[in-house]
Amino acid sequence: MEREMAWNIVEEFTESLSLKRHMLAAEAAMRAYAVRMGGDPDVWGVTGLLHDFDYEKNPDVTIDGHPIVGSRILRERGVSEEIIRAILAHAEHVTGIKPESQMEKALVAVDELTGFLVAVALVRPSKDIADVNLKSVKKKWKDSAFAAAVNRREIEHAAQALGVPLDEHIQIVLDAMKDKKVVS
């Protein structure tokens, strides 16, 4: 699937600017990981871009909601099973699909982290991702009250499953988001 087609799907199903930014951040991070791991940046990027496209219309992460409903829509639109499987694997607790490929593991690893990094950026005076560094992320990471909904253990486990130390994982995703100016 070409990126333009993927973006059209995002636009069709998503009104929330913050959710669109999240998907753009995931796209940037997935592209960075594709380059690092020898994957196809276009396929990995589209996977990141589409992974939550149906969330606004199907906010219940259940068998009758996200991402199951979204996977059906993507199949109808001719999206590859490789991308659909990765999207389903990012909600293993609902779909039963365990992340196995590097692309699937990367999506799980970047999903929650992009949200955390946006939260770190938004509490800075500039609200600009360009002003965020690893030290400031690690400081907020230790504060369990900060972005309390972000599952830090899931991020740590996902980075480990990907074979990347946590600090390096944070830096890769942060650099990708800075490069694409996801929050500013």
pTM of the model: 0.95
φ, ψ of residue 25 in degrees (nearest 5) = -65, -45
Average pLDDT of adjacent 10-residue blocks, the chain of 184 residues: 95 96 97 98 98 94 90 97 98 94 98 96 94 97 95 96 97 96 66
What pLDDT is recorded for position 77?
96
In terms of DSSP H, where are the helices of the chain? 3-13, 17-37, 41-50, 68-76, 81-89, 92-95, 102-122, 134-142, 152-162, 166-179
What pLDDT is recorded for position 183?
64
> Which residues lie below 8 Å from residue 136, measured CB to CB, with a gap of 6+?
120, 124
What pLDDT is recorded for position 104?
98
